[in-house]
Amino acid sequence: MTTPVKNPLQIPALTDAEEISCDVLVVGGGTAGTMAALTAAEHGADVLLLEKAHVRHSGALAMGMDGVNNAVIPGRAEPDDYVAEITRANDGIVDQSTVRQTATRGFGMVQRLESYGVKFEKDEHGDYAVRQVHRSGSYVLPMPEGKDVKKVLYRQLRRREMRERIRIENRVMPVRVLTSPQDGRAVGAVGFHTRTGAFVVVRAGAVILATGACGRLGLPASGYLYGTYENPTNAGDGYAMAYHAGAELTGIECFQINPLIKDYNGPACAYVANPFGGYQVNRHGERFVDSDYWSGQMMAEFAAEVASDRGPVYLKLSHLPEESISSLESILHSTERPTRGTFHSGRGHDYRTHDIEMHISEIGLCGGHSASGVRVDDHARTTVPRLYAAGDLACVPHNYMIGAFVFGDLAGADASQYTPYEGELPTDQLRAAHELIYRPLRNPDGPPQPQVEYKLRRFVNDYVAPPKSGARLSLALE
């Protein structure tokens, strides 16, 4: 894409920026971003897809997915029931119109993914083998070859008819959305090439942010900056870009906190194990979770049990028959985090003989697995004209993978109506972004980035993470 700068440590001139023009700019090549790009192109738009890594293996979906958490399959669940469940899980603080989009469009998305080559588990009658994990409704749909989901999507992006409409630029990281001084609408973005250091400016008719969760907010118990529950490359870029563009964020007080395997930065996947007969117990072997899987109350019960004299807590699997354990191993050790099996074997543990000790993750922000994200309407539009958000960045509570695809599709369809901005790009915004990007090179003797990040995230743990109090939050704002 770009002409490398002569010296990677040399600051390129603002006037040396490479400018790219497109109808629709998609930032992030993960779940929602890929679908947004495909849909916008199918609607006739010229699309630019920017990815700071490589689209082939980027985002939270990079290692695949073992199943769908919220598949509303006709005959097995009803959209009204799903909307009611999500509303209860979020204590009524939810925009039901957005949740309903996932409830009513999710089945069509499952079928679309099947047409691409994604495989979903079916029973002996050829029906979708959805399983019940929640107190009502069966929404969990396993994916027997879920590790290949991203490969399947990438093949779709590389189809000849899509290549004619979708330009992919890997290793380009946007840092700011550009907005029109006249009416505030999104008109592009500005960033840099992560390998060459080149300054990149994009002129667009609409911008779709699909950058994932803010996984590097709190500090894990291990102290390792990248040992997060979320994909650590999902560092909150989109939250910052949306905020500085003037978009409203919502539900930020609703952190994402998850049960995970102790000393391992990965989920215990109780929702996968529960349909096989696994469940959580305290050290006395007593079951203690009385609320539903996706409610905040569940995490409160879990945290209280861990902190009590009834802890540690475990995911109990050792009572299961060999067939069930083998099936679980094939799912949990091959998809999302294949190092899980290595972690257990390194400790001499086996699901047949040892239950899995669980703990609590650091806090993060995530619209798709919690309720903290950029405010969107039922077409993924933010409060800034022509700026969209989809996937874990958008506040559509418990939207998960299917919801990310749905809202990527909605964003791509709506954004495809726009053509590139024809006015002069705002010089003051370009200058500010240029200063932000190359500030570290202007201060070579400043503190190293890992040290700064560690301090900030320790600060989050000390003053922002639960249990919350007015005194701690006030100190955080000082």
- The pLDDT tens digits of the residues spanning 217-254 come to 999 988 889 988 888 899 999 999 999 999 999 999 88
pLDDT digits (tens, 9 = 90+) for 33-44: 999 999 999 999
Whether pLDDT at 5 is above 60: no
Least confident interval from 92-106, 140-154, 165-179: 140-154
What is the model's pLDDT at position 229? 86
CB atoms within 10 A of CB 118: 18
Reported as a pLDDT band with limits 50, 70 and 90, residue 171 is very high
Residue bearing the bigger pLDDT, 348 or 7: 348
What is the model's pLDDT at position 135? 67
Q: Which of 108, 145, 137, 208 is nearest to 417 (CA)?
A: 208
pTM (global) more than 0.85: yes
Q: How many CA atoms lie within 13 A of 272 on its CB side?
A: 23
What is the model's pLDDT at position 338? 79
What is the model's pLDDT at position 139? 87
Q: How many CA atoms lie within 13 A of 102 on its CB side?
A: 35
Angle between helices 31-42 and 149-157 (to 10 degrees): 30
Q: Are strands 47-51 and 18-27 parallel, antiparallel or unpaired?
A: parallel
What is the model's pLDDT at position 380? 98
pLDDT digits (tens, 9 = 90+) for 324-374: 999 888 877 877 677 888 989 898 988 999 998 999 889 999 998 889 999
What is the model's pLDDT at position 294? 59
Whether pLDDT at 136 is above 80: no
Reported as a pLDDT band with limits 50, 70 and 90, residue 53 is very high
Whether pLDDT at 4 is above 70: no
Residue bearing the bigger pLDDT, 265 or 219: 219
Least confident interval from 106-110, 229-233, 432-436: 229-233
Reported as a pLDDT band with limits 50, 70 and 90, residue 292 is low
C-alpha to C-alpha distance for 151 and 365, rounded to whole angstroms: 27
Whether pLDDT at 8 is above 70: no
What is the model's pLDDT at position 419? 98
Helices (H), 13-130: 31-42, 79-89, 96-116
Reported as a pLDDT band with limits 50, 70 and 90, residue 160 is very high
Cα torsion through 50, 56, 62, 63, rounded to 10: 180
C-alpha to C-alpha distance for 277 and 297, rounded to whole angstroms: 22
Least confident interval from 211-215, 239-243, 258-262, 279-283: 258-262
What is the model's pLDDT at position 63? 78
Whether pLDDT at 3 is above 70: no
What is the model's pLDDT at position 157? 96
Q: Are strands 47-51 and 166-170 parallel, antiparallel or unpaired?
A: parallel
- For the chain, what is the mean pLDDT? 91
C-alpha to C-alpha distance for 148 and 287, rounded to whole angstroms: 35
pLDDT digits (tens, 9 = 90+) for 378-387: 999 999 999 9
**Residue 291 burial class via C-beta count within 10 angstroms: exposed 0-12, middle 13-18, buried 19 and up:** middle
Least confident interval from 206-210, 228-232, 462-466: 228-232
Considering the chain, what percentage of its residues have pLDDT values greater than 70?
96
Considering the chain, what percentage of its residues have pLDDT values greater than 90?
65
Whether pLDDT at 112 is above 90: yes
